[in-house]
Amino acid sequence: MKTTVTELPESRRKIEAEVPAEEVENRIKAAAERLGKEMKIEGFRKGKVPPEMVLQRLGRDAVLNEAIEASLAEWYVSALDDSKVRPVGDPSISLEKMPEEGEPLSFAFEVSIRPDAKLGKWKGVEAPRTEADVPVTAVEGELERLREAFARLEPVEGRKAVQGDAVVLDYEGKIDGEVFEGGSASDFLLEIGGGQVLPDFEKPLLGADAGSEVIAEVDFPDDYPAEEIQGKHATFTIQLKEIREKVLPDLDDDFAAEASEFETLAALREEIASQMKEALERQSEEAFRAAALDAAVAVSKVDLPDAVIDGRALEMWRRLERALAQQGISGERYAQMQGKTTESMIAEIRPDAEQALKREAVLEAVAESEKIEIGEEEMIEALAIPPGHEDHGHPEPADALQQLREAGREDELIDELRLKKALEAIAAEATPIAPEAAEAKEAIWTPEKEREEKGGLWTPGDGPEDGPDQTAR
């Protein structure tokens, strides 16, 4: 495929692409074969109509339209790969004319791109770094969770059900007098107050005796996951068959030996504290890098047209929609659950989209200024099989790299690794400061902040009503 790129105003690019005539004819033949499997023509078995007959019956233009519709998305991606353009948002695609037999197909599209950043003095920017101190309460909390995991449920007699008990139930629910799907169960184990069911369901269980029957009146909320019962009222007849109480093990050396590889409680405490410290150090380092990058963004300049920001916000919303779809929830439904519209949700994403674009632009500019390059060994290292996943069918790193190259995605990996190294460079040059100092610095008035708030230029000669009340800051 041949492509040419034309620079347009407002951070847009026009890409003109030409698909070779031979490929166009192959796609027409493939489209005719697909259509032939669906057509019924006298003299041919169903699904066995040859491509030549399909072209004769439907005409070349109709089959060409089918071929273009099936292939345009793939050709668009190929044109992007060939032109090395990284778009933001959706393209505007146009076909110049339908090709005659033996002619190439030409199409063009316009896309927004992320603008370049004009770097400020990013080396030495200050960023808050939190010390990885593990509170004693956090260690004790983890020990309590371990005790909960090793708790026993023992039957109790002679008392009523209370919060925290586990109860064994049979229940049957009806809506408008009819049993509904999923509304009945036998020997159902429920922890009262554990959040497994709606509060209305477990409320009549509190204070009930084993062997008793209780009635629960439940109003399903409008956003209940099972759409068929959303907003409906159900009556549940519940047989409380057994009450069990949770018995926690003593917090001692015997418990440590049972719950872990350590023989003493002191050793288990030390291990928990060590693991927590490692996790906090990783979080602290990630937060420091993010803060350093934002500080570098703050001293740099990135002019983002509205169309570019809108395009990224839409991309981010669509990623969220795909994640929601895996949970069986549509984007529109999710927005309704939040009491919002799709449009308002995208509008809320917009500031994050703008900051993400600025971060990427600054990282790219740093990668360019520092002449960051990615070698073969770094790519192979990045594709290394994660520990513990050796038997999960992952290809060897060298094979994975070859697959990326064959799919034309090597540049994506290189870009990702370049930006990661740029982030490392920014963090390495940044000056760590205490979070309290960062907050205090943020609160200090500066002429730059005054200009941002008022939209004008403050000068030392401005009066008290125009400038800051520095005695109050």
Dump pLDDT digits (tens) for 275-290.
Answer: 999 999 999 999 999 9
Q: Taking the domains of the chain in order of start, what are their residue ranges?
A: 2-113, 152-247, 271-433, 434-473
CB hemisphere CA count around 207 (13 angstroms): 2
- At what angle are helices 410-429 and 342-369 packed, to 10 degrees? 80
> Alpha-carbon distance 266 to 268, whole Å?
5
User: What pLDDT is attached to residue 390?
Assistant: 66
Q: Which CATH number fits domain 271-433: 1.10.3120.10, 3.30.230.70, 2.30.30.20, 3.90.1170.50?
A: 1.10.3120.10
Which stretch of 377-381, 440-444, 456-460 has the lowest confidence by average pLDDT? Answer: 456-460
CA proximity to 23, closest of 64, 55, 60: 64
Q: What element of type H or E holds 271?
A: helix 265-298
CATH assignment of 152-247? 3.10.50.40
pLDDT band at residue 462 under the 50/70/90 scheme: very low
Residue with tokens 């509904």: 180
CA angle 457-461-465, nearest 5°?
Answer: 80
Q: What element of type H or E holds 160?
A: none
Give the tokens for residue 287.
């937060």
> Alpha-carbon distance 88 to 65, whole Å?
27
Q: Check whether 388 has a pLDDT greater than 80.
A: no
CB 24 within 8 Å of CB 122: no
Letter string b/e over residues 333-349, b meaning 16 or more CB atoms within 10 A of that residue's CB: ebbeeeeeeeeebbeeb
Q: List, in sequence order, the alpha helices (H) in 299-371.
A: 306-325, 331-337, 342-369
β-pair partners for 195:
none
Residue with tokens 């038997």: 391
> Alpha-carbon distance 130 to 288, whole Å?
8
- pLDDT tens for residues 147-205? 999 999 999 988 999 999 999 999 999 999 999 999 999 999 999 998 899 999 999 99
Percent of the chain with pLDDT over 90: 66
At 298, the amino acid letter reads A
> Alpha-carbon distance 367 to 373, whole Å?
8
- pLDDT tens for residues 131-151? 889 999 999 999 999 999 999
Contacts of 114 (CB under 8 A, 6+ apart): 11, 86, 88, 308, 357, 360, 361, 364
pLDDT band at residue 391 under the 50/70/90 scheme: low
Residue with tokens 């400038």: 467
pLDDT band at residue 328 under the 50/70/90 scheme: confident
Contacts of 391 (CB under 8 A, 6+ apart): none
User: What pLDDT is attached to residue 395?
Assistant: 87
Q: Which fold has domain 2-113?
A: Alpha-Beta Plaits (3.30.70)
pTM: 0.70
Query: How far apart, in Å, do the first and last CA atoms of the chain sit?
Result: 62
Percent of the chain with pLDDT over 70: 92
Q: Check whether 455 has a pLDDT greater than 80.
A: no
Contacts of 354 (CB under 8 A, 6+ apart): 304, 309, 312
User: What are the DSSP calls for 407-465, one per residue?
Assistant: TT-HHHHHHHHHHHHHHHHHHHHSEEE-HHHHHHHHHS--HHHHHHHHSS---TT--TT
| 126-128 and 431-433 strand pairing | parallel
How much is the average pLDDT of 300-329? Answer: 92
> Alpha-carbon distance 162 to 213, whole Å?
16
- For the beta carbon of residue 11, count every other beta carbon within 10 angstroms: 18
User: 380 to each of 118, 162, 299, 423, how far by Cα in Å?
Assistant: 32, 58, 35, 20
Give the tokens for residue 460.
């030392």
> Alpha-carbon distance 20 to 82, whole Å?
14
CB 243 within 8 Å of CB 165: yes
At 296, the amino acid letter reads A
At 136, the amino acid letter reads V
Mean per-residue pLDDT over the chain, rounded: 88
> Alpha-carbon distance 28 to 164, whole Å?
68
User: What pLDDT is attached to residue 428?
Assistant: 96
CA proximity to 272, closest of 140, 386, 362: 140
CB 295 within 8 Å of CB 442: no
User: 2-113 with 271-433: one CATH topology?
Assistant: no
User: What pLDDT is attached to residue 444?
Assistant: 60
User: What pLDDT is attached to residue 106?
Assistant: 93
CA 8 to chain centre: 32
pLDDT band at residue 456 under the 50/70/90 scheme: very low
